[in-house]
Structure 1
Amino acid sequence: MAVTFDLFGTLVDADRPDRPGEAVGAALAARGIPVPDDWASAFREAHIDAPRGAEVPLPAHVAAALRSRGVDVPGNAARRAVVAAFDPEVRTRASAVDAVDAAADRGAVGLLSNCSVPELVGRTLIRSELSRGTFDAVVTSVGCGWRKPHPDAFEAVAEALGVGADAITHVGDSPAADGGITELGGRFVDVGDSGLRTIAERLRAGGE
Structure 2
Amino acid sequence: MGVSFDLFGTLVTADRPADPAAAIATELEKRDVRVPDDWADAYAEPHVDAPDGAEVPLPAHVSRALASRGVEYEHNAARRAVVAAFDPTVETRPGALETVEAARELGPVGICSNCSVPELVGRTLVRSDFERDDFDAIVTSVGCGWRKPAPEMFDVTADRLGVDPADLVHVGDDPQADGGIEAVGGTALLLEDVALADVPTRLSTVKSQQS
TM-score, normalised to structure 2's length?
0.96
Partner of 2:125: 125
Cα offset for 1:160? 0.7
State the distance in 1 between where 2:198 and 2:30 align: 46
* Residue aligning to 2:92: 92
Counterpart of 2:175? 175
| AA partner of residue 163 (structure 2) | V
> Within 5 Å, which residues of 2 pair with 1:152-163?
152-163=152-163
> Aligned residue for 2:209?
none
Q: Does 1:207 align with 2:195?
A: no
Q: How does 1:67-82 map onto structure 2 within 5 Å?
A: 67-82=67-82
**Please, which moves more after superposition, 2-11 or 185-194?**
185-194
How far off its partner does 1:200 sit?
Answer: 2.4
| Residues 6 and 173 in structure 1, CA contact (< 8 A), matched pair in contact too | yes
Distance 1:77 1:89 in 2: 23
1:19-38 mapped onto 2 (5 Å cutoff): 19-38=19-38
Q: Distance in 2 between matches of 1:207 and 1:55?
A: 33
3-state SS of the aligned residue for 2:97? helix
Letter in 2 for 1:25: A
SS in structure 2 opposite 1:106?
coil
- Aligned-pair CA distance for 1:105: 1.1
Shift of 1:2: 0.5
- Gaps spanning 5+ residues in structure 1: where? none
Percent identity of paired positions between Structure 1 and Structure 2: 59
Q: Distance in 1 between matches of 2:72 and 2:101?
A: 47
The alignment of Structure 1 onto Structure 2 pairs a total of residues equal to 206
Q: C-alpha deviations, 1:147-195, integer Å up to 9, x for none?
A: 0000100011111111111110000001100000111110000123211
Match of 1:140 in 2: 140
Give the distance between the partners of 1:73 and 1:162, measured in 2 at CA. 43
CA–CA distance in 2 between the matches of 1:59 and 1:31? 14
Q: Is the 8 A contact 1:11 1:92 kept in 2?
A: yes
The answer for the alignment partner of 1:112 in structure 2 is 112
Give the TM-score taking structure 1 as reference length: 0.97
Residue in 1 aligned with 2:16? 16
RMSD: 0.8
Residue aligning to 2:41:
41
Q: Which runs of 4+ in 1 moved over 3 A?
A: none
